[in-house]
Structure 1
Amino acid sequence: MTNQTVVFIVEELPVPRHSGYSTYNHAFLKALQTAGYQIHLVVCGNRFPSPFFKANRLLGLPGLHLHIAQAIALPDGWYLAGPLGFLKAVYRRLGGMCGLKKPSSATAGKPVIIGRWLNQSDLALLTPILQMLSPQMIFVDTLFRSPVLAAVDSRCRRFLIGHDVFSLRCQSMAANGFQPVPWISAQDEAAALQKFDAVIAITDADAEEYRRLQPNVRVEALPSPVTPIADCGARPDSGRIFYLGSQAHHNVDGLRWFLDKVWPRVLQTNPTLELDVVGSIGASFSGVYPHVVWHGRLDDFSALAERAMFAINPVRAGSGMKIKILDYLAHGLACITTTVGIAGFPGEQERPLAVCDDAEGFAQTVLEWSGNPAYCSTLSARALDYVGRFSGAEFNAGLQALIADTLASPESAR
């Protein structure tokens, strides 16, 4: 056990299974809490799950110290969102109740927001909190929160949770016709990396790119951990396919491509197949798509995953590991994805993942898998075996080793 104070800076509450980045951040909080650190979670942004919310119940981490800059603390662990956050939460609730669709930015040629740099107003709220806590370590969620480091003591060890190589993401998006905002160049990213003692990448490939951008900074790859949920590899002959996604631009773009270019080819050959779509992504789609069931955001989608034959992730732009695929594998679902989607997953001959970058090949693989339940069961068993490479124990051990090495090393010349 340790009494060291750790500050963890995020844009929004890291509710597990809410999104890929939230799930990844939650894994760090859980590992740090298990190791006995005194954790102070500092939330910068104004996007909240509802106008009133009980943060610790959502996080499932009792004993966590919370500092939610743009919300008002109420008795019994409740919070009231600040004015702007309140309006955003009400709009999302009313939109969901009334069936309103959020205008999507996932259209070629349109600006797509990929992050938000902290501004002077944010720093005015956060600086007193950090000065009061005087942490020994600070974990920062993406380079967009790096301006907060100006408010911490120089002796505080600084860890970046990279999530993504944003300069590569910008290049990937631009190559697919999008306008990422803000644009992050390799020079921008290298300058941000230099502010940290250690950088945590979600894949080995991202780690190599970080080392290339900033050779003098310690870099470690820690893939997101996952616990198997399914207990056997049997798949039903249900004709059902599964997709999970938030409203992130790359999800919307990929699913729209699938529904417009791939799904009609599939249904032309096999009109009995059904696609179950789970997550907030449904709010970005209007119109009628045949044989598609929109379930919205679910706290537990295990029942839907259990009846599916396999899953898809037709993502076409971005970088870093796609955590939804880990969710699929944990539920015993093999996945058809793309070259972008496969990034970060160890390559093996019997990997329970298929790669298809063109509509015809994607549709053909969907038809082949859906027509062969026995093969889907074989792939499911492989998925449950494969997901063991992403254990929580290995993640925790890797994080503790990185912390120990960083604390034992002389302070870097930031």
Structure 2
Amino acid sequence: MASEESVARSVCVLSRQRIVGETNGSSIYLLSIVKYLVANGLQVHYVCPSPSVFGRWPFLWLRPEMEAFSSYRIRGAWKFGRLVINPDLRVLLQAAVAVFDVIAARLKLPLRRFGRPASHSIFTPETLREADKRYLAKIARPLADAILCDYASLAPAIAFVGRDDARSAVVMHDLFSAHYPEVDSETEFAWLSLADLIIAIQAKEAGAVSTRLPHTQVIVAPMALTSVERAQPGDSDQLLFVGSYTAPNIEALNWFLTKVWPLVREHRPSLRLQVAGAVCRGVSETPDGVSLLGLVDDLRPLYRHAGVVISPLRSGTGLKIKLIEALSHGKAVIATSATTFGVEELMQGAVVVADPEMAFAEGVLELAQDERKRLLMGEQGIGLVRRHFSPEACYRGIYEFLSQAKTAAP
């Protein structure tokens, strides 16, 4: 339980991520941390200093899980209950153009596309505007007994909150410069060095940061989940892939559909694949035996029914949250080495790892025909989640850090 001193403390989450609910891996991870902090007596507020978070759409609809935040603020936005509106008429025009482009594409009209995607406000090293700085000083300052930055690129905002007494932490999510050549290493580590605490999602990235920033505290906080009671071997002929609309997920799914799916169907025509999540929008042609379900409110029945969960990622960084989610449901999982990066030793026995298309197909077929192996892998996955990925194991260090006054730091 939280102490009397920590109950009154207020944590300000600074973010440029479009968090409207548990809609993608990074949002699920951050909300999981927020829920743990709230359960232990802290108040948590979401503050976004830039309206660029809206992208091309003039409104956001907050899902019920966003009630974990005591308040939700975006510069320039109006909030009415769970509806958040950007009153900028230019954004409304961009949305209209985007809708026109979508309709024209679906009707296969030979027209030039007029819209263009908005820049990704999380990863672009955009400089904080003067309006952003004033907003932080006015809105975030009274809320920030402690500051939690969502991604390293927002760490420069800490200075403009203007709370010298506030402890600050950065949720890395990923160490981007280690995997993406276009991300400058010096810049990323300079951002990270601005915080008192760096939160890494897996040990390899934590070690890399500690080596570069030996005087900054770094902790490992993987994604926390609660597991089902027992393994669920599922239907031998049912595969499942769950993913959001991100480049690594789209690349992974299309690789599996074009390279692996024909191989497994050739040897076992009864196999079926269900795809859940916004990643479905990244598939142009749906092969036989594949069902694109889109967004699904409750994934539990899909996990329960699936015999094998696939994670064929070809790239990506950080801890793959959907991997831990599948294990928490007691599932047999086949994944690539990109999926298990950073937790390879931990996953031994709980996950089948294969990279070449033929090896991946053979792994799928072996699991499909061996219910006993699926059951044993599911049991091992549940045990792994309970030992290493409980909320207390993952997030206690974050709570203890943020709930103390900065003067109490060693």
- TM superposition score normalised by structure 2: 0.84
Distance 1:366 1:134, change over 3 A: closer
Instruction: Assess if the C-alpha contact under 8 Å between 2:210 and 2:216 holds in 1.
Output: yes
Matches within 5 A, 1:15-414: 15-43=20-48, 44=50, 45-47=52-54, 55=62, 57-61=64-68, 64-74=70-80, 76-83=81-88, 115-121=123-129, 123-124=132-133, 126-130=135-139, 132-133=141-142, 135-153=144-162, 154-171=164-181, 183-228=182-227, 230-345=228-343, 347-348=345-346, 351-388=349-386, 389-403=388-402, 407=406
1:206 is displaced (CA, Å) by 1.0
1:304 alignment partner, SS class: helix
Task: State the secondary structure of the residue aligned to 1:46.
Answer: helix
| Alignment deviations for residues 296-331 of structure 1 (CA, whole Å, 9 cap, x no partner) | 011211111111001111111122100011111122
Quick check: 261-270 or 394-403, which moved more?
A: 394-403
Q: SS in structure 2 opposite 1:208?
A: helix
- Equivalent AA in structure 1 for residue 179 of structure 2: R
Aligned residues: 387
Q: Deviation of residue 336 (structure 1)?
A: 0.9
Measured in 1, the distance between the counterparts of 2:152 and 2:100 equals 33
Whole-angstrom CA distance in 1 between matches of 2:70 and 2:99: 27
Which residue type is aligned with residue 79 of structure 2?
A: A
Unpaired stretches in structure 1, ≥5 consecutive residues: 102-111, 172-182
The 1:208/1:193 distance shift into structure 2, 3 A limit, reads same
Q: 1:292 to 1:95 in 2, by over 3 A?
A: farther
Query: 8 Å contact 1:142–1:163 — kept in the other structure?
Result: yes
Judge conservation of contact 1:161–1:199 (CA < 8 Å) in 2.
yes
In 1: Cα distance, 2:235 partner to 2:12 partner = 48
Separation (CA, whole Å) in 1 of partners of 2:284 and 2:379: 36
What CA distance in whole angstroms lies between the structure 2 residues aligned with 1:131 and 1:15?
19
Greater Cα offset, 262-271 or 49-58 = 49-58
Q: Is the 8 A contact 1:48 1:81 kept in 2?
A: no
Supply the distance in 2 between the matched residues of 1:245 and 1:91 (Cα, whole angstroms). 27
CA distance in 1, matches of 2:276, 2:376: 24
Alpha-carbon separation, structure 2, partners of 1:337 and 1:294: 20
1:12, 1:48 within 8 Å by CA — same for their partners in 2?
no
In the alignment, the residues of structure 2 paired with residue 17 and residue 378 of structure 1 have an alpha-carbon distance, to the nearest angstrom, of 30
Instruction: State whether residues 240 and 308 of structure 1, in contact with CA within 8 Å, keep that contact through their aligned partners in structure 2.
Output: yes
Report % sequence identity: 24
Higher alpha-carbon deviation: 305-314 or 64-73: 64-73
Q: RMSD between aligned alpha carbons?
A: 3.0
Output the TM-score relative to the length of structure 1.
0.83
Deviations, residues 96-133 of structure 1 (Å, cap 9, x unaligned): 999959xxxxxxxxxx9672334344625633444652
Matched to 1:117, the amino acid is P
Greater than 6 Å deviation, 4+ residue runs = 87-99
User: Given that residues 78 and 86 in structure 2 are in contact (C-alpha distance below 8 angstroms), is that contact kept between their aligned partners in structure 1?
Assistant: yes
Residues in 1 aligned to 2:21 and 2:261: alpha-carbon distance in whole angstroms: 30
Paired residues of 1:236 and 1:309 also in contact (CA < 8 A): yes
